[in-house]
Amino acid sequence: MGREGIEAYRGYMRHRYVALLLLLCLLAAMAVVSLSAGSASLSVIDVLKALASHDGSPESIIVWNVRMPRVAAAIVVGAALAMSGCVMQAVLHNPLASSSTLGVSQGASFGAALAITCLGAGMQSGGSASLLISEPYMVTLFAFIGGISTTIVILFLSRLRIASPSVLVLAGVAISSTFSGATTLIQYFADDVMVASIVYWTFGNLGRAGWNEIAMIGAVCVPAFVFFMLSRWDYNAIESGEYSARSLGVNVGVLVPLSLGLSALITSVSVSFTGCISFIGLIAPHVMRRIVGNDYRYLIPGSAICGAVLLLVADIACRMIISPVVLPIGALTSFVGAPLFLCLILRERRVG
């Protein structure tokens, strides 16, 4: 019996490792497809040759200078949003939790809009000495303040006895509406240039993120991912309830706010450079739960990879639907993600 249990556990582990490996292969394939997609059509062979040679040919310039930063941004941002949603769902015991449904993205967008209008971030300031923080860091800082403010409110509500998962989602909807209304008011009083800059955040666009911005997002996401993976057993314990987790030695009082803070940080930094991209952090963890289950040893990395794949697919669709026009990726993810999530909810209720 003991030997059968060991074999069953090995099969359990093998299935999840194979699933993650196949998902990584799918990510690599989607990256190559994304490099070949666009107004200047390139074959997969052309892309592979450009990646191998980097010889200054037109194909190499298109791949390395134009499309590669966009693909890297999709991978990093998709992984960040999905990882954030996965951890939020764990610590809040709420399968509907994510940066978009709880208002973190909207709060971060409001912070970015405030930085644009009040401090002139994101535009040429003419070398004003009054700006003590360089523009990318200023927008990121204000976006983080907006996102973390929403997180603090959600965390406070989660501590109330009356705050059920549905109440938290409704609170997130109310917070999202508040920040969206505030952003609209800012646009009303801003000039044309500022309005154009603010609209960028609401549309969502991977094209603006260059290698410096991608490096900043990665510099925040990698330590957060390491922390989340080091806490994977604690998240598994929290699945059984906070009281059970405390009895197993988990410091819930520190883990929950720290996890939410890091989730808000990586979401806010991503939003500050690419705009508001919804539903990636909501859909990816649900997809991976059906593949690897609720074990956070596999769910966290699986969600990150799945989020990267989903955002890459969305970006390919944005560039190919009415090429050469590039559709706003935030609009497309919301348009596709909302009905897909409704299908997940109905399927869960049918199973239950």
How far is the C-alpha of 275 from the C-alpha of 141, rounded, in Å? 14
Domain 2-351 has CATH 3.40.50.150: no
How far is the C-alpha of 285 from the C-alpha of 85, rounded, in Å? 7
CB 285 within 8 Å of CB 82? yes
Per-residue pLDDT tens, the chain, 352 aa: give them. Answer: 467 778 888 888 888 999 999 999 999 999 999 999 887 878 889 898 888 887 778 888 899 998 999 999 999 999 999 999 999 999 888 887 888 888 888 898 898 888 888 887 655 444 433 344 445 568 778 887 888 888 788 878 777 766 666 677 788 888 888 998 998 899 898 888 888 878 877 788 888 788 988 998 999 999 999 999 999 999 999 988 888 898 989 998 889 888 988 998 898 888 878 888 888 999 999 999 989 999 999 999 999 999 999 999 999 999 988 888 888 898 888 888 778 777 766 765 555 5
CB 179 within 8 Å of CB 150? yes
How far is the C-alpha of 105 from the C-alpha of 66, rounded, in Å? 27
CB 51 within 8 Å of CB 330? no
- What is the C-alpha R_g of the chain? 21
Tell me the domain boundaries of the chain. 2-351
pLDDT for the residue 161:
61
pLDDT for the residue 128:
39
How far is the C-alpha of 300 from the C-alpha of 262, rounded, in Å? 14
CB 266 within 8 Å of CB 224? yes
Q: DSSP per residue over 51-104, as a string? A: HHH--S-HHHHIIIIIIHHHHHHHHHHHHHHHHHHHHHHHHTT-TT--TTTTTH
pLDDT for the residue 214:
93
Q: N- to C-terminal Cα distance for the chain?
A: 32
For the chain, helix, strand, coil in percent to 5 are 80, 0, 20
Kindly tell me the sign of the dihedral angle through the C-alpha atoms of 115, 119, 125, 130.
negative
CB 329 within 8 Å of CB 277? yes
Residue 186: name the closest of 106, 246, 105 by CA.
Answer: 106
How far is the C-alpha of 111 from the C-alpha of 177, rounded, in Å? 14
pLDDT for the residue 348:
59
